[in-house]
Structure 1
Amino acid sequence: MELKFVLTAFVFISATVTTAEYIRPQPRRTLEFPWDPKPSSHPQQVHISLAGDSHMRVTWITDDESSPSVVEYGTSPGGYNCGAEGESTSYRYLFYRSGKIHHTVIGPLEHDTVYFYRCGRQGPEFEFKTPPAQFPITFAVAGDLGQTGWTKSTLDHIGQCKYDVHLLPGDLSYADYMQHRWDTFGELVQPLASARPWMVTQGNHEKESIPLIMDAFQSYNARWKMPFEESGSNSNLYYSFDVAGAHLIMLGSYADYDEYSDQYRWLKDDLSKVDRKKTPWLLVLLHVPWYNSNEAHQGEGDGMMAIMEPLVYAASVDLVLAGHVHAYERSIRVNNGKPDPCGAVYITIGDGGNKEGLAHKYKNPQPDWSVFREASFGHGELKIVNSTHAFWSWHRNDDDEPVRSDQLWITSLVSSGCVAEKSRELRKILMSP
């Protein structure tokens, strides 16, 4: 009873904070990457991602087209008692030609275990830690990263966080048609992305389409393959995965989403399989926010919201994370524009460090559903403690890691009775043609 009182008081106190008085520092320049020659067979831009139950996908690039898509791994340095061979691809973009992009799935792996691995039988040894099998689990969250001084600050802060999985709601490299910027981004994030799984979804800066010449998302899909096939999706732009008692759904803001689209049908099918006894927490990530009181990108998510929010609400999604707007904003539980104790908490966190700068202008008066909003670069951390409680915190880049600029205890909708209350409504939507 005493713990419940403390948590309730904490939620109330944190929810009363609105816009903090804070003087923002100046923008930082785009990072420069001096040429660093490597043997053509050595792995570059190494990153990992979850690939179904107890498996991990290892992705890397080599300049040598004859390099094998082989990963050797084990639980001791240099002790590679396991191995797997995967697939490879490459692509051309106007006058640019990518290296050989390798994707190899390894496993089954033990939970909460450190593995050492080598890619293509060449080059340095890497190591990663698998997520735990059960709570607690911690997610690092940062969208709209780019490659600026602020990006480096964000990554440095995330590196200080004891997290298990990184979530990125779109806009990764800001290559914007300059394909070599995908390569420099891969090198920039490799120290973190090779050590913890990065689960990403696409943003508008990944589109890179040229009418009649280049298809959209060609670079993104080739380089950042996510577990869409493992989750029954036909597109790398939307997928889902389970980890330690949480079911996460990554939606595609730039894929068709109307009621007759593949994405909508897949989402209904995916939600029909969710067992809240096994995964009591249900999270959604997408790029374009549905709730946004910033002047930037105002209303851009309204079409998708009109179609999908009723389904998200009926499914009792606990938390929706978005990017796109280069600022931070957190809502109370909300549905259909109004406070609702059975709605999701919406968080916009497109403030990872992009080159376009911050979105400073907010609409006034502040909407009833908006609790905290601030135009600063930073990252978020979500620690799901158990089946009923999670702790969310947001950290400004220029603050030391112990300083939290916003924080909130979140109670799961399973424990509040909302899931049971809305089960009939959800079944009705799922059974509709």
Structure 2
Amino acid sequence: MELKLILVLLLLLLAVGATADYVRPPPRKTLSFPWSKKPSSLPQQVHISLAGDKHMRIMWVTNDKNSPSIVEYGKSPNNYSFSSEGESTRYSYLLYSSGKIHHAVIGPLEDDTTYFYRCGGEGPEFQLKTPPSQFPITFAVAGDLGQTGWTKSTLDHIDQCKYDVHMLPGDLSYADYIQRRWDTFGELVQPLASARPWMVTQGNHEKEHIPFLEDSFVSYNSRWKMPYEESASSSNLYYSFEVAGVHVIMLGSYTDYDEYSDQYAWLKADLSKVDRKRTPWLIVLFHVPWYNSNEAHQGEGDNMKTAMEPLLYAAGVDIVFAGHVHAYERSSRVYNGKSDPCGAVHITIGDGGNREGLARKYKEPKPEWSVFREASFGHGELKIVNSTHAFWSWHRNDDDEPVRSDQFWITSLFGSSCCAENGPELRKMLLEP
């Protein structure tokens, strides 16, 4: 037992040392979550995600090991016409034992419709809204959230946004081995995450690996199950989903990604299934940015970029979102280190509110592909208006107001000469063994 605690302390010290290479401004304090006694069967930490065509996965935690994994739901309050029984899991991590973590898939659901639901046969009623089946559709985007005053500000601003799906490119709770922080993060995001689907991928703060003692991502995988099985992936660390004319690919920066890896093979297979006539927009998310002019985390995404960027380029990916760097940056369409009209727009948005603060130091001179960069907390909104045009805006919240600091229109590569020119190249790459 003592050996476990010593190893944890050493790892925490190493983590602190790893963030001391660049100076960040003083962060806001970590939020306080006073303990209060709750009924053991009360559903807590409720959040939802897309789970295949016209289905949603509802996830929640109870302290009662006998609580059923049942969701009742319907289209009017307190009137549940349908029910679905799911499954549950638990995990232990050093001295911590989780509550009973429930997963239940509901559906088929009608598009653009409000449903009322109850978890476990009791407790409060929640409501969710399903995404539309066609354009327009709006995504909220914010990474590296954590649990600070800035996090609360960012979540409040996202709540003001009329969005359909939240996308988070890694670093959720900043639990960093302290498992109780996963529980408080679930409490913090429940008001938003129980009402709109949250689609997430892992970051370095989800890894929580202790050699010889604890496997990587056990907490993340237990609590945030994404539709990896529905998208023919063998790992919860990478998957894809489709919604309203958009194909979204969530990749893992912290699992193997070279050309011999399972993730690389899955990505090739997933791209081969994309029908741009049905989903004219192609978006990718992962944690570590490939294009980054901040001094923080320089070069960390280079190996993944070398392995996978040719695939994304050939497929005509429109936008790539990343986190990790605690600042905001938007590129022009870029490929292989320079502006390219057939490349993707890369957006780093690791500024959700983490406890480590902002990364203020940028490299000079600014690379020619870097269009806008600013070290401020905030969130982004992507409104895809139709099959060809989308409007992106980034909202700075340093002044506790969702100030729109960057905005631009983007035209999809679908139907452009880029897709026509890259078509044979993509087919060749996907057919290669």
Q: TM-score range by the shorter chain?
A: over 0.9
TM-score computed with the length of structure 1 as normaliser: 0.94
> Size of the alignment, in residue pairs?
410
Root-mean-square deviation (Å): 1.1
Tell me by how many angstroms 1:419 deviates: 1.2
2:39 corresponds to 1:34: no
What secondary structure is seen at the aligned counterpart in 1 of 2:404? coil
1:121 alignment partner in structure 2: 121
Within a 5 Å distance, the mapping from 1:14-413 to structure 2 comes to 27-399=27-399, 403-413=403-413
**Which residue identity does 1:283 align to in structure 2?**
I
Q: Secondary structure at the match of 2:325?
A: coil
CA separation in 1, counterparts of 2:95 and 2:169?
29
Kept after mapping to 1: 8 A contact 2:27/2:356 = no
- Secondary structure in structure 2 of the residue aligned to 1:287: coil
TM-superposed CA distance for 1:417, in Å, is 2.7
Counterpart CA distance in 1 for 2:86 and 2:289 is 35
Q: Tell me which moved more, 204-213 or 409-418.
A: 409-418
Residues 323, 349 of structure 2: 8 Å contact kept: yes
The letter for the 1-side match of 2:350 is G
Give the counterpart letter for 1:386 in structure 2.
Answer: N
Distance in 2, matches of 1:145 and 1:402, equals 16
Conserved 8 A contact 2:321-2:347: yes
Give the Å deviation of 1:26: 5.4
Give CA deviations for 1:376-414 in whole Å, capped at 9, x if unaligned: 000000000000000000001135766310001000001
Offset at residue 336 of structure 1 (A): 0.2
Q: What code does the residue aligned with 1:233 have?
A: S
Tell me which amino acid in the other structure corresponds to 2:92: R
Distance 1:270 1:278, change over 3 A: same
Structure 1 residue 38: deviation in Å? 1.4
- Does the 8 Å contact 2:72/2:82 carry over to 1? yes
The one-letter code of the counterpart of 2:82 is C
Q: What is the rounded CA distance, in whole Å, between the counterparts of 2:180 and 2:389 in structure 1?
A: 43
Using the TM superposition, give the Cα deviation of residue 415 of structure 1 relative to its aligned residue in structure 2, in angstroms.
3.7
Residue range with higher mean Cα deviation, 25-34 or 382-391: 25-34
Q: Which moved more, 1:35-44 or 1:102-111?
A: 35-44
- Measure the CA separation in 2 of the matches of 1:346 and 1:235: 25
- What secondary structure is seen at the aligned counterpart in 2 of 1:404? strand
**CA distance in 2: counterparts of 1:94 and 1:25, whole angstroms:** 33
Contact 1:160 1:401 in 2 (8 A): no
| 1:251 positional shift | 0.1
Cα distance in 2, alignment partners of residues 136 and 46 from structure 1: 27
Question: Structure 2: how far apart are the matches of 1:25 and 1:210?
Answer: 30
Identity of aligned residues (%): 80
Distance in 1 between the 2:398 and 2:292 partners?
A: 24
- Partners of 1:265 and 1:402 in 2: how far apart? 40
SS class of match (2:274)? coil
